[in-house]
Amino acid sequence: MIEGLSPEVVAGRIYSNWQTIDTIPFEARLIGYGLDFGFDPDPAAIVGIYYYNGGYILDELLYQTELLNEHLALFLKTLPFAPIIADSASPGAIEDIKRYNINILGAEKGPGSVRAGIKDVQSFKISFTRRSTNLQHEYENLAWKISKDGQNVGIEDPSCANHLLSAARYGLTTLVPKVERVNKRKILQELGQEKWRREHTAIAGNPV
């Protein structure tokens, strides 16, 4: 972030139009967690991801330095059961945590996956809890790297903290397609049931 500027005018800001909510609605459904590994100076970051009313809620759960994989595993075991999507650049850490019988998977990565993942996240309706102060700071400050001639280089500015947002991106880009498939099946099932009801009502000679 450029000192002295409000979040709305950060040059090259990546995310915008997210909403802050006080608490997670009772009807929201936990779909999983995102995990970004770190130690020092970068923190390990864990975010809970919920589906609610056509959008997604992010809830900061952990943002701490100097945590070993054992510490992360013990913390994850205290959370409600749901899949955990972690940075696949750390396969050894993922295997360490799996030894604690934790359902953890590596996010898919490849050439251009960060930019593509950011584009996907930009298309989602996102809210975050008011207590997610570190996430809010990253959200308001994460920007694209800008060249000396003012051009967007197409990568995140390495001077910006992105630990919780990376964790959220791992989780969202992996879990949202599964959520949308489930929602589509439910819609098709409901449409099928409605069609069956209409057809059988018509056969019985009753008005639809």
- Res 2: pLDDT: 37
Predicted TM-score (pTM) of the model is 0.83
**CATH number of the structural domain spanning residue 125:** 3.30.420.280
State pLDDT tens for residues 148-158: 888 888 889 99
Number of structural domains the chain divides into: 1
Tell whether 147 is covered by a domain. yes
Q: Give the lowest-confidence range in 69-78, 141-150, 180-189.
A: 180-189
Q: Could you write out the DSSP letters of every residue in the chain?
A: --TT--GGG-TTB-----EEESS--TT-EEEEEEEE---SSSPEEEEEEEEETTEEEEEEEEEESS--HHHHHHHHTTSPS--EEE-TT-HHHHHHHHTTT--EEEPP--TTHHHHHHHHHHTS-EEEETT-HHHHHHHHH-BEEE-TTS-EEEEE-TTS--HHHHHHHHHHHHHHHHHHHHHHHHHHHHHHHHHHHHHHHHHTT---
Predicted confidence band of residue 5 (pLDDT cuts 50, 70, 90): very low
Residue 16 lies in a domain: yes
pLDDT band at 161 (very low <50, low <70, confident <90, very high): very high
Q: Is 60 exceeded by the pLDDT of residue 4?
A: no
- Span 63-100, pLDDT tens digits: 999 999 999 999 999 999 999 999 999 999 999 999 99
Q: Say what the pLDDT of residue 198 is.
A: 59
Task: Tell me if 189 is assigned to some domain.
Answer: no
Does residue 191 lie within any of the structural domains?
A: no
What confidence tens digit (pLDDT) does each residue in 47-62 have?
Answer: 999 999 999 999 999 9
Residue 114 falls within a domain, yes or no?
yes
Domain boundaries, position 97: 7-178
pLDDT given for residue 197 in this prediction: 57
> Does pLDDT of 147 surpass 80?
yes
